[in-house]
C-alpha cells in the first residue's frame, strides 16, 4: 500500500516538473511599441517589462544586432525587473526592428517591435521661373522626399490678385501623380505666380513660388 502511494506520488511529481518546464520555458514580455510620431531629431524610448521571473538580464537588438549602451545615440537603463531603451536624438538610420531579449535562470523570452523614424520633406526638384510661348505645353516640376511620402499641391494667382487658388482649376491643367504640373496649350491668362507646397505633416512644409510668363500672345 505504502509502495503504491509512493509510486503515485513520484508520478505526480514528474508531471508537475514537466508542466513547469513546458509552461515556464519562455518569459512573457508585456507588448510595447515606439510612439507613432517618432520623428528625426526627437527622442524615443520603450520599456521592456517581463511578466514573470526575477534577477532578469536584458539585451537589446536592432535588426538582430546587439546594441551597446552609451554608444552614439543609444542608452539602455536596465533594472532587476525592467529595462528602458532610449534613442536620443533619432536619426534616419534608427529605423528597424528592435528586440528586447530577457533571460533568468535558464529561461528566456523576447519581444520585437518596429521603429519607423519620420522625416520632414526635403527637395528633390524645386520649380523655377519659366517663360512659355502661347500655345505651348508647359511642365512645372516639384518633387520632394520624406517619410511618409510627401504630397504636392499647386496653387496660383489670377491677374492682379495675390490670393492663391488651388490647382488644377481647369481642363488644361493637370496635376501629375509625381507632383509635376502640366499646363496644355498655355494662354496669356495662365500667366502669374505659381506656388508649390510639399508637405507630409512632419516639420515644415517646403514652399516655392515661381513666375510663369507667357510670350507672344495677344
Residue of 67, 93, 89 lying closest to 78 (CA atoms): 67
Residue 147 engages ligand NAG in binding (rule: CB under 6 A): no
C-beta closer to ligand NAG: residue 58 or 154: 154
> Distances from the Cα of 85 to the Cαs of 47, 179, 195, in angstroms?
6, 39, 43
* Total number of residues that touch ligand NAG (CB under 6 A): 16
DSSP H helices, 67-212, are none
Q: Choose, by CB under 6 A, the member of 38, 49, 83, 197 that binds ligand NAG.
A: 197
Q: Taking CA 126 as the corner, what is the angle to CA 121 and CA 132, rounded to the nearest 5 degrees?
A: 150
What three-state secondary structure class fits 3?
helix
Residue 97 engages ligand NAG in binding (rule: CB under 6 A): yes
Q: Choose, by CB under 6 A, the member of 207, 211, 213, 216 that binds ligand NAG.
A: 207
Site for ligand NAG in 163-192 (CB under 6 A): 176, 178, 180
Site for ligand NAG in 56-85 (CB under 6 A): 63
Q: In the numeric block, which cell numbers belong to residue 114?
A: 518596429
Query: Is residue 123 within 8 Å of 206, Cβ to Cβ?
Result: yes
Q: What length does the chain have? A: 218
C-beta closer to ligand NAG: residue 83 or 197: 197
- Binding residues for ligand NAG, per CB under 6 A? 63, 96-97, 114, 125, 139, 141, 143, 153, 176, 178, 180, 197, 199, 205, 207
Amino acid at each position: 500500500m505504502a509502495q503504491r502511494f509512493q509510486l503515485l506520488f513520484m508520478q505526480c511529481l514528474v508531471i508537475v516538473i514537466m508542466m513547469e518546464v513546458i509552461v515556464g520555458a519562455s518569459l512573457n514580455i508585456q507588448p510595447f511599441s515606439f510612439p507613432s510620431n517618432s520623428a528625426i531629431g526627437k527622442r524615443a524610448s520603450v520599456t521592456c517589462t517581463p511578466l514573470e521571473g526575477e534577477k532578469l538580464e536584458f539585451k537589446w537588438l536592432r535588426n538582430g544586432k546587439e546594441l551597446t549602451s552609451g554608444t552614439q545615440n543609444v542608452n539602455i537603463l536596465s533594472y532587476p525587473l525592467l529595462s528602458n531603451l532610449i534613442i536620443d536624438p533619432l536619426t534616419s538610420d534608427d529605423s528597424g526592428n528592435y528586440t528586447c531579449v530577457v533571460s533568468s535562470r535558464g529561461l528566456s523570452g523576447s519581444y520585437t517591435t518596429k521603429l519607423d523614424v519620420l522625416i520632414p520633406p526635403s527637395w528633390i526638384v524645386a520649380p523655377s521661373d519659366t517663360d512659355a510661348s502661347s500655345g505651348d505645353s508647359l511642365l512645372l516640376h516639384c518633387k520632394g522626399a520624406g517619410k511618409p511620402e510627401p504630397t504636392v499641391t499647386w496653387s496660383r494667382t489670377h491677374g492682379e490678385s495675390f490670393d492663391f487658388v488651388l490647382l488644377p482649376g481647369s481642363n488644361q491643367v493637370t496635376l501629375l501623380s509625381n507632383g509635376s504640373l502640366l499646363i496644355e496649350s498655355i494662354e496669356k491668362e495662365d500667366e502669374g505666380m505659381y506656388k508649390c507646397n510639399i508637405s507630409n505633416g512632419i516639420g515644415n512644409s517646403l514652399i516655392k513660388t515661381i513666375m510663369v510668363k507667357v510670350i507672344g500672345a495677344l
